[in-house]
Each structure stands twice: as C-alpha cells, then as structure tokens.
Amino acid sequence: MRPQTASRTDGSILVSQPRLRTVVVLAAGEGKRMKSALPKVLHPILGRTLLGHVLTAAAPVSADRTLVVVGHGADQVSAHLREVAPYAEPVLQAEQHGTGHAVRIALESAPDAGGTVVVLNGDVPLLRPETVTELVAAHEAAGAAATVLAAEVADPTGLGRIVRGGDGGLEQIVEERDATPAQRAIREINAGIYAFDAALLRDALGKLSTDNDQGEEYLTDVFGQFAATGETVAVHVAADATETLGCNDRVELAALRRLLRDRVNEGWMRTGVTLLDPATTWIDVTVTLGRDAVVDQNTQLCGATTVGPAAAVGPDTTLIDTTVGAGATVIRAHAMGAAVGPGASVGPYAYLRPEATLREKAKVGTFVEVKKSEIGEGAKVPHLSYVGDATIGARANIGAGTLFVNYDGVNKNHTVVGEAAFVGCDTSLVAPVEVGAGAYVAAGSAVTKDVPPGALAVTRAQQRNIDGWVLRRRPGTKSAAAAERAGQEAPGASEGEPIHGAPVAGEGRPASGDTATE
C-alpha cells in the first residue's frame, strides 16, 4: 500500500489512508486461432511470455493484489505465474462467458479489493509501464468512475470502437460485431485496458446483460451504465497506438515480435550500443548491453545474457543466459549458460555449453566444444577439440584434436591441466587425470595416468616404414607413379621390413613434431 501525503496550511504533513489498488489480468481465453496446445498468453516474445510482458507493464501500479483470470490451460498458466510472478493470484474462470463475467469472478475472489481496479488484457506485450501508470494517475486525479485507454489506429477492423457524445465525452464502447456502419467507421478504438472505481464497478457488473451477438457479459457495457447515470467516465489516449496491439494468431504474433524488436534495438542504440544490422538482430528485453558493445548481423541475444562494454558479438551468433566480459569477442558461436571473461575470444564455430567459463584473455577457437569447464587466464583451445568437465590452468595450450574423455559410461570424471602446460595435437586425456604445471604431452598420446609437473608424457607406438610397399601393393596407381619418379621406394625391399624405426621422444631429445597448434 502507498500512503498518500498532503501539506497542511501550517506546513506540516498530513498522511491519509493508503490508496488501494487491484490489478486484474484477463488470461482465460483459448486463443483458437493460434492453433496451439500452448495457451495463447504463454507464447513467448523476446524473453517473456505475452502474459509476462503485461505483468511487467502493470508492476509500477504497485497493486495490493494482482489477480490473473485463468481458464483454458489453467494449470499451465498458473504454473507459469508461480515461476515468473509468484505474487499474482490465479482465479479460475471455468466457463468463459465474457470479459465482464471474468472481472466479476476475479473481484468475487477478492472481496476486500477497493480503491482503483486496473483491468488489462493478457495479450498486449507492447504495453509500456509508463502508459499504465499515466492511465491510473489520470483516472484517480479525475475521480472518475471509469477510464478507458483508447488509441487512434489506421485500420480498426475487429476492434471495439470509442463512441463519444456531442461534448466529446465517452458515450459508449461498441464491439464491432454490434456496431452500426457509422460506428464501424470510427478509428478511435478501445485498447481493452481500464481503470475503475472498485465499488462502482462491483455494482455495475451485477447489472450486466447477455443481450448481445455473443450472448456474453461485456465489460465494456459498464461504461454505458456509468454514462447513463451521470458518473464521470474518462478516455485516456495512448501516445503510441502500437502499445495497444494484441494478437489472435501467429501472423499477428510475429508482427508484434518485429515491432518489439525494433523498439528494443532502437533503445540500445540510443544508449551507445552499435547494432550493425538491426533488422537481423534480436535482443530479449531481459538482456543487458554495455556502452560501445558491437553486435553484428544475424545475432540473437536471449534470456539473462549480458554483454560488457566494448565487447563484439556476431555475426551469426546465439547467446542464451551467457555473460560476455568487456572487450571480449564472440564470432559465429552458440553459447548457453556460459561465461566469457574480459578480453577473451570465442569462435568462429564454437559451442559453449552450460558452466563453460573462460577467464580473462582465454581463447576457444574454431570447432571447439566446451562443457562445464574452466579455461584459465590466457589459456588457449584453438581448434577442433572437446573440453568437458575440466580445469585448464592459466596460459596452457591445448593442441588441435584434443579430447577430454570425461565419461566412462556411468560417471562424469574431471581432468586438470596445469598452468602453462602444453598438450600436443590429437591427444586424449582420459579422466580422471591431471597434467601438471609446465608439463608436455606428445602429440597423438592417450593419457591415462597423471603427468608430473615439467614432465613429458608419450603413449604412442614406435613408427616403422616398409619400403617398396606402394609399388608392390598399388601398382599402376598415381601414387606408385609418383613414388617411382621420386625414387624413394626400393623395389627389392622385403615386405614388412622396418628400415626406419623412429625412436620414442624422451629424455635428452626434443619431441620434434610433438607439438600443439596455437
């Protein structure tokens, strides 16, 4: 509750009784034209459901109670409310008999609700909190029995019309199906968003009739009752008609999504974010971007994603619930539940799965997948590797084709690669295992035992060359011709004879070729 204050003539402050407010959201409809098993109000649009957007718009009203009328898919809608708005109370409308019937059921469930009742439709995701606040302020300042939010639109087809009297005041709201040809020509429409005096509304709801084309209790008929009895009825016109748009099918939902995309993108650009192609950039309303961040084309930023100052994301990138630090770069990558540290780089064509963490200036390169692992400060996994359930120390280098073998068919096991360690290409680290600080692993190794700090691990077989094999086994091929021209195969050598045994790289000899790429 909000205490109301006023100044006495002697300068002291008078505190009056708190003003009661109740929000009622109408979310019981099936939305047949959506042709979906999902209730219409639960369809997502840029980070929230339709219903979630409406509840967010209503939040600044600071209602004492928020009642959400549910019907079709009531269990699903109620579960969603528990997740995103636990303060909201679902009220079941088992049979849908119109908007007036829905509001009456809601108020019957809250007999203590007084003061101002704000009624919202559950499918208007573009509605701004400022507009709801202004509607309520205008209603309460005028001491009106009811105030309707109206909008001037180019095409009012399918919408209720605002019919004004000779003095410009509201005379009635007429649904299109019940309107005369002259009334259908009116372009000022009812947005389906209202503020009422609670006591007067309760009385009027009890007098509603079902004498109309649909045989339903229309909430809009309340306005005609108030006008007929001389009550003050006000109209508040929305500054932007797009805020009042709802949706009845997926085509209209897509149109609303585009409008919201444009609004969100414009807002970020005006705060100092560069969007190279706003038409192909989709940013959820729950995302945060830092100044001088750059977002390239075909990029989706979703959920609780945060992009730090001067970071560069995209093109062709999707980030979900991911944090990107200041100055980091993420190119052509997909990340979910990951954290990319300041100055780090990701991609192209990298996949960061949940709990992938890159510390400052770390690198995850081309065709690398990281899951539940930490890549230390300045460490590199440049390309063609899988890192799962691992800790990689600062400045370590992981060669191309390295596999962190984390799953034994039953359990996931952890691998540790120490600070400044060097893992050669085409290596398998079979967890649980630890490669010590500063240690080397020769290319092509399968490491199953811990490697001490500063040691070299080698687990591959000795190489042998069989001279003359191609000429004997592949005569007539282009390979045989090339070998013969090069004079590098001896036709008389016996098959299977190892004439060049490569010693195992070890103590006292550099591991030539046992390197990783950077």
Q: Tell me, what amino acid is at 114? A: G
Would you say the C-alpha torsion 26, 30, 33, 38 has a positive or negative sign?
positive
Q: Does 175 show up as a binding residue in the annotation?
A: yes
Cα(427)–Cα(446) distance, integer angstroms: 6
Cα(240)–Cα(493) distance, integer angstroms: 88
Q: Tell me, what amino acid is at 422? A: F
Q: Nearest 5°: phi and psi at 506?
A: -160, -150
Task: 166-171: list long-range contacts, CB under 8 Å, 24+ apart.
Answer: 169/227, 169/233, 169/235, 170/223, 170/227, 170/233, 170/234, 170/235, 171/224, 171/227
Cα(204)–Cα(335) distance, integer angstroms: 54
Residue with tokens 């205490």: 3
Query: Contact, 273 vs 291, CB < 8 A?
Result: yes
Which residue among the candidates 43, 80, 101, 383 is catalytic per the annotation?
Answer: 383
Q: Does 411 show up as a binding residue in the annotation?
A: no
Three-state DSSP state, 224: helix
Q: Does 371 show up as a binding residue in the annotation?
A: yes
Q: Does 144 show up as a binding residue in the annotation?
A: no
Cis peptide before 348 (omega within 30 of 0): yes
Three-state DSSP state, 265: helix
Q: Which residues, at least 6 apart from 98, have a Cβ–Cβ distance to it below 8 Å?
A: 210, 214, 216, 217, 218, 219
In sequence order, what are the beta bridge partners of 88?
66
Cα(115)–Cα(138) distance, integer angstroms: 14
- DSSP character at residue 278: G
Q: Does 406 show up as a binding residue in the annotation?
A: yes
Can you read off the two tokens belonging to residue 230?
């001389």
Query: Contact, 487 vs 474, CB < 8 A?
Result: no
Q: Does 26 show up as a binding residue in the annotation?
A: yes
Q: Does 397 show up as a binding residue in the annotation?
A: yes
Q: Does 349 show up as a binding residue in the annotation?
A: no
Residue 383 bears catalytic tag: yes
What is the secondary structure of 325-362 as a DSSP string? -TT-EE-SEEEES-EE-TT-EE-SSEEE-TT-EE-TT-
Q: Does 400 show up as a binding residue in the annotation?
A: yes
Q: Does 123 show up as a binding residue in the annotation?
A: yes
Can you read off the two tokens belonging to residue 77?
């809608």
H helix count then E strand count, the chain: 10, 41
Q: Does 121 show up as a binding residue in the annotation?
A: no
Q: Does 28 show up as a binding residue in the annotation?
A: yes
Q: Does 79 show up as a binding residue in the annotation?
A: no
Residue with tokens 């390169």: 365
Can you read off the two tokens belonging to residue 473?
């086994």
- Which residues are designated catalytic? 383
Q: Which residues are annotated as a binding site for acetyl-CoA?
A: 400, 406-407, 443, 460
Q: Which residues are annotated as a binding site?
A: 26-29, 40, 93, 98-99, 123, 160, 175, 190, 248, 353, 371, 386, 397, 400, 406-407, 443, 460
Q: Which residues are annotated as a binding site for UDP-N-acetyl-alpha-D-glucosamine?
A: 26-29, 40, 93, 98-99, 160, 175, 190, 248, 353, 371, 386, 397
Q: Which residues are annotated as a binding site for Mg(2+)?
A: 123, 248
